[in-house]
Chain A
């Protein structure tokens, strides 16, 4: 009989050490493992290094850990939707390291795929002292070392008991790659089905990558539609200009 990977949220997150480097799925709120993050907050994990595309927004997702002073360093691609994190960075209370979004993803993929790093010409014009470059077949590349984590926190739409995962829409984002590159991979899922219920052709990430599985008990409001990002019924124009997108700067 196959061994189920399902456990309680407390058991799943037990053993996450202070000072751990965590790979966290999500781009904005979709795909952010809010339940696992709440557990970390409750159990007091601190001195963490977070690797996530973004810092969520104040009061949401990893920002709750940042606001509680649990995060020492964040490795991200863009934190522009979180003015609190930006302020903390400028005040020297949060160390931030940024990479171009797809390069961040590929550094993690390399870490997950057992590779030492990647070669890229993205950002070649910004190479600083200490960064390595290489010539290959007449072209220049920057060497980006692989990136791994101690623990990955992943959000899935559906899972079976052995950890085969299905993601949905834009909630896939960084979840598959993060799940490939950590020593311990913890997944929270909105729906849990028995083994055999997911068509193998429809599995987005094989259970090979998953260690522990937690069924989300309640889809709290942070998983839902965030009103401040939705269009207003009466005044569409106001809502559009009120939205802070990266095109604004």
Chain B
């Protein structure tokens, strides 16, 4: 949010009850009743609206969200997403993630390419319980941008200074590599 240009033509939805969320509140300007879904103090943009949780999730499940950005523990080549539970380890709950993943018009995953221990996160099939099946359209990692297609994972862009070989070795699913030079980001 903090990096969007001021006049961006987008309404950002926050599941705790905002349509039209702005950047984080500057120091000293926090409103005790205005937070984002991660409990940071937020602001709103002109045209914003507040609502309760029923309305907030009617917007989500009713299909009114154009695009949602989610983190991931694992993503499969079919676009299955696992990001809410590691049985026996991490079980804080699901929040709004399942509904966002299943009902948004486009789901983009933002994640590190591998886990802290170096294990691949992009897999042939997920090993963890799914947040939602076949929901991910695009994966943006620290190494690459990958599109999920009916044919599988298609490599679209490489991070600057990252070799094709490193991306292939860090991915545990087949990658479709287009001919020619890949754009970098």
The smallest beta-carbon distance between B8 and chain A, in angstroms, is 19
Distance A240 CA – B51 CA, assembled complex (angstroms): 26
Residue of B nearest to A243 (CB): B40
**Chain A residues, Cβ within 8 Å of B16:** 27-28, 30, 170, 173
Interface size on A, residues (CB 8 A): 63
Q: How far in angstroms is the closest Cβ of chain A from B72?
A: 9
Most B CB within 10 A of own CB, among A27, A30, A176, A246:
A246
Contact A246 B32 (CB under 8 A): no
Q: Are B33's CB and A245's CB within 8 A?
A: no
Could you tell me the distance in whole angstroms from the C-beta of A79 to the nearest C-beta in chain B? 5
Expressed in whole angstroms, the Cα–Cα distance for A240 and B38 within the complex equals 11
With an 8 A cutoff between CB atoms, is B71 at the interface? yes
Interface string of A88-113 (1 = CB under 8 A from B): 01100000101111110110010000
| A175 at interface by CB-CB < 8 Å | yes
A227-249 contacts to B (CB < 8 Å): 229-233, 240, 243-249
Distance in angstroms between the alpha carbons of A77 and B92 in the assembled complex: 9
B181 at interface, CB cutoff 8 A: no
Is A121 in contact with chain B by the CB < 8 A criterion?
Answer: yes
- Decide yes or no: A173 and B92 within 8 Å by CB, A122-B61, A243-B38, A246-B37 being known contacts: no
Q: Which 4 A-B pairs have the closest CB atoms?
A: A102-B57, A245-B38, A80-B92, A78-B93
Chain B residues with CB under 8 Å of chain A are 14-18, 24-28, 30-42, 50-54, 56-58, 60-61, 70-71, 73, 83, 90-99, 102-103, 110, 129-130, 132-133
By a beta-carbon cutoff of 8 Å, the part of chain A in contact with chain B is 27-31, 53-54, 57, 76-81, 86, 89-90, 96, 98-103, 105-106, 109, 120-123, 125-126, 157, 167-177, 204, 223-226, 229-233, 240, 243-249
Give 5 pairs: A residue, B residue, CB < 8 Å, sorted on A: A27-B16, A78-B93, A122-B61, A229-B40, A247-B71
